[in-house]
Each structure stands twice: as structure tokens, then as C-alpha cells.
Amino acid sequence: MGRSASRIWLAQLRKPPIKFFGWCRARKFEPSVQGSIISVKLGLWSRNPCCAESFGRRRPMLLKFRNPVGTLGLGLFALLVFGVESNCQSTSSTPPSLESLKAIEYAKQSDEGQNEVVSYSELLALINSCRAYSKGLSVLPEFHEPILTRGETGIAVFRKVSPSVVLVMMAKFKDDKVSDMGLGTGVILDASGYVLTNWHVVAGYESGVIFLKPTFGTEPPKNSAFGMRLIALNKQADLALLKIERPPTGLVPVKLGDISSVQVAEDIHIIGHPHGQLWSYSTGVVSQIRDNYDWKYEDGSEHLAKVLQMQTAINPGNSGGPVLDNNASMLGLVAMSEEGQNLNYAVAIDVIRGFVNRSMTASPSRGSEANIHSPKGKQYFGGAAGGLSITKTVYPEFVAYTVRDAKGLLIELIAETADGAVLTGIKPNAFGGFAEWLYKLPNGKTFAVKSEGTAPELITAGAAN
């Protein structure tokens, strides 16, 4: 073989690795994504229902791969490439549209049926969290850095701690539709992504995302939101510990104070999202420290903890926000207020320390996924031109269509919700899931989703690259 022909052959062999390793590389995805990116490895939980906008006698402050150079090396390289190709999922067939999938006549599957490609809980979590993300994008443009007029101490506290304060957006389904959105505050406890908020901020919701404080404005391309997992709950003390699944570098944790340093009448500082007014600052004083204080929300949940009674302005959306001293140390976590009484309360820092210490040392099995009930969908089988096989799975909240080629290799998955939102899995990966997804809201807005395995990891507002 001449030098020129050798170069042509080598060039041809170099092409497939780019293509196939792009689909099948082992659990490492390095996307080039422009725009707003959310890291969303979605967790689920379900607890007793607590409406985001229901506030009772005590109001919860929540707002709803060297190329081979020898002949032997080239041969091994070719075997490797074509071996990978044969083991990857099929992508050569043109997938049918949602409309054509819906028009197919299906027959009921046997009870055994085919296993779900992507589980019910993963699909539901993606749908719910995209809803929460969309809601977060709608309120972020309203954020403007506040003009502080409370003196140098207040300005210093806000500038130091506000990057540690996050926006928690929650969503849940009811009657085949997204029924509730919840908005609350959270505070970063350490650089690995632990976030503290209230029990009532997450109770009753199935999925959520966390937004960090914007640095360069509030337009979607400039903002990131991150998927979270529930680590622990303390219903009695109205506390919840969350964990950002893929935390970015540079998270700024808040400094925890000491209850022994709290003095009645000392100045305090509050940061939160009252009525969706994001990263707002207010100030006040400690009115009293109350041991074993009990309160009850309108949903019937009963709570008991040491609290700080405060004279300050807090409103729905402030829930889970830090109460800070003049040294920017956290003294408590905003919980609730009594309507018409100008009496506001925060869970005291010693209660928080105990809860966080216990939760971080608990078994890693504690978390949301162990608590999720995943209904078994009703499966139906159909066929389409080109030898395609389609499994239609009907769930309470959505219908999923799984498309395979004549060899049984995965091509596509489409899920449609009752309200018209459509989730499409494209570019199957080596792990039984999809490398990319598209999620289209009923209003036409589209999110592109990247995935390492079967669970979604990265989402950006706009179409896939």
C-alpha cells in the first residue's frame, strides 16, 4: 500500500471513534453547552401534602479519549471501533413523530412486558423539575440588587451572605397536571452542596431545583439551576436538609453562630424571597428566645422547637432564610409568623446544629428515592414501517412511547403529559438511556437535556446542540 493510500485508510479509520465514542464513552460527558445550564440529577420525595400558599394560624414563610500507528495497532483499533458500534444503541432508523405513534393500533402486552427504559420516577422528576425551572426563570428577571440604606453593617452582612442564600423552587402533580409550585429560601451550609431549608418548603412536593444568586444579571442564559436530593427531614422542628447533586465549584457556605451569643434586643439581618421578591434584605431585633415553643400550620402539621422570636418583616417566601447577626453568623432559620400579631419566629441555631450533624452522619440510603412509590404502567405493543417496534406505557401522569428498531435496539422515547408537554429522548447512550433529551412545554418553550446514563444531568434553555 502506498503512502497516500495508507493515509486515506488511516483517515477513514479515524472517523468512527469520534462518532461512536461520542455516544458510548463510559460515564463521562463533557458537553459544550451555551446558555443557561442547570445541573439536574433529579431526586424525588413525597411527604404529607402541604400547600405552598396555605398558611394557618402560624404562617409558614413559603411561596408556592493515541491513534495506532502500526498495522497491528490499526487492526486492533478497527476491531475496537466496530465492536463499540455493534454494541451501541441503534440510531440509524428515522424515528416516528408523536402524532404517528399515537395513531398506531396497539395490543395489550403480557403482564411480564418489557422493562422500562427510563423509570417512571426519572421521567416524572424531569417533567416536574423542568416545570420548576421554568417558573424560576419567570421570576428571576424581577431580581435587582437591592439598594441598602441600613448602614455599613447591613451592607456588609448582605454582601457577604447573600451568595450563600439560594432560591428553592418546588413542583408537584395532581390530577395529571402540575398543580402546585412552591417558592422558598435555602442557605448553603458547605462547599459540597448541602442546603438547609424548612420542612414545609419541600413537604408534599415531588421535585425541585435550586437557583444560586445571579452574579451577572437575571436573564436565563446567565443563570444556573441545580437538581437536588433530599437528605433528611425533621418535621417537628420544621427543618429539611438538601444536597445539590452536581454542585459547582466556589459555593460560599454560611458561618454558623452559637446560641449562647444571642442576646435579646440585638440587631439581626434577614435575607430571603418574600412574595417572590428575590434576595431581599430586612433587619430587626431579637425579641426573645423561647424553649420548646409549639406551633401548628393550617395543614394540621404540628411543630416543636427552640425558636427566636423576632421583630422584623418576614413574609411568604422568606421560609428557610438565614437570621444573621452583625458578624454575618447565622443565628436561626426563618420559619413562620403569626398573622396579625407582628410575631415572627426562626428555628434556633442549636436546634439546627443538632439536626445537621445527625443528618450528615446518617446512612446514605436516607433520601428521597427510597420513599417514592412508582406505579407500574400499563403496557401495549405496536409496530411501524421499517420493522420498528413500539411499546406504549400508560402512567397516571403521562404516556410514554419507546421505539426500537428491528433488532430491538433503542431509537427514541417520547412521553406526553396530560397538559401537552412533550419529553423526547434522542441519541441513545451505552447505558440504556439517552445522551440528549428535548422537553417542550405546552407554550412552545423548549429545554435541551444532557445525560450521562439514564438520569438527566444538564439542562439548558433552548434547543439541543
Residues 139-158: pLDDT tens digits?
A: 777 666 665 555 789 999 99
* Side chain identity at residue 447, one-letter code: F
What average pLDDT score do residues 233-252 get? 91
Evaluate whether residue 254 is within a structural domain. Answer: yes
Residue 455 confidence (pLDDT) above 70: no
- In this prediction, residue 263 carries a pLDDT of 95
- CB–CB of 419/430 below 8 Å? no
Evaluate whether residue 83 is within a structural domain. Answer: no
- CB–CB of 201/211 below 8 Å? no
State the pTM of this model.
0.67
CATH of the domain at 264: 2.40.10.120
Evaluate whether residue 299 is within a structural domain. Answer: yes
Domain that holds residue 258: 123-370
Query: Which DSSP letter does residue 96 get?
Result: P
Residue 266 confidence (pLDDT) above 90: yes
Evaluate whether residue 165 is within a structural domain. Answer: yes
The pair phi, psi for residue 355, each rounded to 5°, is: -60, -45
What average pLDDT score do residues 433-438 get? 80
- In this prediction, residue 463 carries a pLDDT of 57
Q: How far apart are CA 415 and CA 409, in angstroms?
A: 18
**Mean of per-residue pLDDT scores for the chain:** 75
Which residue do the cell numbers 451555551 mark? 34
More confident residue, 172 or 379: 379
Evaluate whether residue 382 is within a structural domain. Answer: no
- In this prediction, residue 413 carries a pLDDT of 92
The three three-digit cell numbers of residue 129, written as one number: 423539575
The three three-digit cell numbers of residue 290, written as one number: 423561647
- In this prediction, residue 144 carries a pLDDT of 66
Evaluate whether residue 24 is within a structural domain. Answer: no
- CB–CB of 171/125 below 8 Å? no
Q: How far apart are CA 121 and CA 150, in angstroms?
A: 47
Torsion of CA 401, 404, 409, 415, to 10 degrees: -20
Query: Sorting pLDDT into bands at 50, 70 and 90, what band is 108?
Result: confident
- In this prediction, residue 224 carries a pLDDT of 67
Evaluate whether residue 237 is within a structural domain. Answer: yes
Residue 18 confidence (pLDDT) above 50: no
Rg (CA), the chain: 26
The three three-digit cell numbers of residue 160, written as one number: 457577604
The string of DSSP letters for 315-354 reads -TT-TTPEEE-TTSEEEEEEEEEETTTTEEEEEEHHHHHH
More confident residue, 148 or 431: 431
Indicate the number of domains in the chain.
1
Evaluate whether residue 313 is within a structural domain. Answer: yes
